[in-house]
A and B are shown apart, each in its own frame.
Chain A
Amino acid sequence: DAGVIQSPRHEVTEMGQEVTLRCKPISGHNSLFWYRQTMMRGLELLIYFNNNVPIDDSGMPEDRFSAKMPNASFSTLKIQPSEPRDSAVYFCASSWAGKETQYFGPGTRLLVL
């Protein structure tokens, strides 16, 4: 099993640029979660999908953030325009809907200068 795959692993960009983070969940999982982790705020849920449909996006900080899941094997998290305060590690996780165990990817380290 390849596990949850995220790309890129590291991203350095300048303020105002668009950033796109990508996630491939574990095959067969039908729930997908996007998290952000910072020292100050810890691990926060941004949005999650069941069967490709967004269920709860209350954690998305503002309109600059958007997430899509066009099919069961791919999701993107986009930040446009990016700001220095968006610097964090972004994790994607997947699970079976209704099951509590979430499997995390290795994360994308984002630095916005």
Chain B
Amino acid sequence: QKEVEQDPGPLSVPEGAIVSLNCTYSNSAFQYFMWYRQYSRKGPELLMYTYSSGNKEDGRFTAQVDKSSKYISLFIRDSQPSDSATYLCAMKASNTGKLIFGQGTTLQVKP
């Protein structure tokens, strides 16, 4: 079993839809949770960062962490065609610099 599980999709939605992306994990030592966005043929770029449990909002993006369920989510409101990309969740424990990535979910937002 992988430490981090993420449905690879693909996920296709119409412009303006609310998108929900999720990851589950098995390692209770994870304390830091991130979402990276990767456009085609580019490197991943950090989108959202959350420490421990709770919610964090940044514009149209909201990240949620539920440590009791070992489940994290990324919500995108009013999705745009420019949001079309692969979204990777990543997480790490406090005693290491090593990030563990999910497989990535490919999102397509259709105009």
Contacts and interface: CB of A to CB of B under 8 A. Distances in A.
Interface in A78-113: 91, 93, 95, 97-98, 100-107
A37 B53 CA distance: 28
Given A91-B43, A100-B34, A104-B44, A56 B88 contact: no
Interface string A43-58: 1110010100001100
Interface string B17-45: 00000000000000010101000001111
B110 interface: no
Contacts of A44: 101
Contacts of A56: 96-98
Contacts, number: 50
A55 B97 contact: yes
Interface residues of B, number: 20
Interface in B67-92: 88, 92
Interface size class of A (residues with CB under 8 A): 20 to 34
Contacts of B49: 100-101
A45 B46 contact: no
Contacts of A91: 43-44
Interface of A: 4, 31, 33, 42-45, 48, 50, 55-56, 91, 93, 95, 97-98, 100-107
Given A91-B43, A98-B97, 18 more contacts: A42-B101, A43-B44, A43-B104, A45-B99, A48-B97, A50-B97, A55-B97, A56-B97, A93-B43, A100-B34, A101-B34, A104-B36, A104-B43, A104-B45, A105-B43, A106-B43, A107-B42, A107-B43
* 7 A-B pairs closest in CB distance: A104-B43, A43-B101, A42-B103, A100-B32, A104-B44, A106-B43, A107-B43
Interface of B: 32, 34, 36, 42-46, 49, 88, 92, 96-104
